[in-house]
Amino acid sequence: MESKLGKSRAVRVGVGLGIAIAVLGAFFFARPRKPSGDLWLANAETRPREARLSYPAADVYRPHGTTRAGAPTVLPPLPLQELAALEEAKDFHGLATAWLLRGNPIQAAPYLAKAGHSPDLDSDRALLALDTGDFTEALVLSDGVLAAAPSHPRALWNRGLVLRELGLGLLAAESFERVAALGEPGWSTEAKQRAEALRGQVEAHPASYAAARKVGDAMRTGGPVSLEEARAFPGLFRLFFYDALRAAPTRERTLELLPLAQELDRHEGKGILEALVHRVAGRDFSRRGPLAREHDRLRRERRPPAEWQPLIAQARAAGETDLLLGAFFHGQSIRAHLEEYEALATRTGDDWFSLLAAHQRAQAELAKDQHSRAEQVLSAAQRTCATSRLEVEFQT
């Protein structure tokens, strides 16, 4: 009897130990594993993204991997146990990086929101904005990082990518050249190559740009509208459009600019210019026509500010807002009528005029040594308009 009881007790003990071992084993093997380089693809021969991330384990140089046409890059799945380890450690930056590397800004965003603020984190936020197509926010964030840390390599690199997307090739090249000057192994060589490629692309533009200017000048005096040139230089032709509209002496000529307005609106994603054409076409040209001719004459002859003052008064009295904005601009009188110009610019709903107003306001603040205020004005303007800057490098 005792022998049977002893065996029964031994069996119960053995079963209990077995269960305990199984539970401990399950706990051990289910615990999150310490993250490896695979989570940030640091062991791959090439990197999947052009951009740079600030998380140290992800900022390991490898050449950017190119894909064959029609063959998307296949990345290994995210190791879930390693993600769990980061969650347990509250390493929000590491989690955001894992998702950003895989081009998933939606998954990355909440982790970056929890991660706090630093130049590194704000540099990655700029990449998040770039991924979602918010180029203005990406540029503002990158510039903010560089204001605090002028040689931040990841911010400089990603800023170059943003500027390239905005069509600002020379400024993008300059940003990559600043990375090249830092002498980082691998990164500096690629940055130099990128800068040279961007400068080469821009250098191919001058002849086409000069031809586009001739077309634009002819258009402003009643010549044909070239939609092909407008597609190549949308920023430049927007300027031509404004002056051609102000110079149009009749309703018929105004409506001839409608296809150009529609083309430029497609580039901007808004219908502001088309609406402007229809609004101007509805004006009384017995009153507007003479003002339009005078505006064009003063602009072509580059008359001094004093000679623009009668037109400014007449356009204001007639309610011809676009002519008044043009007279302020070409007559170099925005600063003298800054509050009125700002109000008119806001009323148009056109970011181009708002950005110009902000630039003039910032210059006025700088003249009073209000540098911080000037920076705030320009930063706010940058957040509302990116594409207005597209022709800046051609003007300088």
What CATH number did the domain enclosing 136 receive?
Answer: 1.25.40.10
Are 193 and 289 in the same domain? no
The residue segments making up the domain with residue 303 are 206-395
Are 277 and 257 in the same domain? yes
Domain count, the chain: 2
Q: Give burial (CB, 10 Å; 0-12/13-18/19+) of 301.
A: exposed
Local confidence pLDDT in tens for the 396 residues of the chain: 444 444 444 434 343 444 343 333 433 334 444 555 567 676 778 888 899 999 998 898 989 876 444 444 566 677 777 888 888 899 999 999 988 988 889 999 999 999 999 999 999 999 999 998 888 788 888 988 988 899 999 999 999 999 888 777 888 999 999 999 999 999 999 999 999 998 887 776 666 777 877 888 888 888 888 888 888 778 778 889 999 999 999 999 999 999 999 998 886 657 899 999 999 999 999 999 999 999 999 999 989 999 999 999 999 999 999 999 999 999 989 989 999 999 999 999 888 888 888 878 887 877 787 777 766 776 666 655 544 443 333 333
Angle subtended by helix axes 371-384 and 135-148, to nearest 10:
150
pLDDT tens per residue, range 45-89? 888 889 999 999 889 898 987 644 444 456 667 777 788 888 889
Token duo for residue 227: 């939609």
Token duo for residue 20: 């305990």
Measure the CA–CA gap between 341 and 332, rounded to whole angstroms: 12
Residue 81 in any domain: the answer is: no
Are 121 and 253 in the same domain? no
Residue 159 in any domain: the answer is: yes
Are 157 and 175 in the same domain? yes
Are 244 and 384 in the same domain? yes
Residue 37 in any domain: the answer is: no
Q: Which residues of 193-225 are buried (b: 16+ CB within 10 A; e: fewer)?
A: ebbeebbeebeebeeebeebeebbeebbeeeeb
pTM score, whole prediction:
0.53
Measure the CA–CA gap between 113 and 106, rounded to whole angstroms: 12
Are 247 and 271 in the same domain? yes
Measure the CA–CA gap between 323 and 329, rounded to whole angstroms: 10
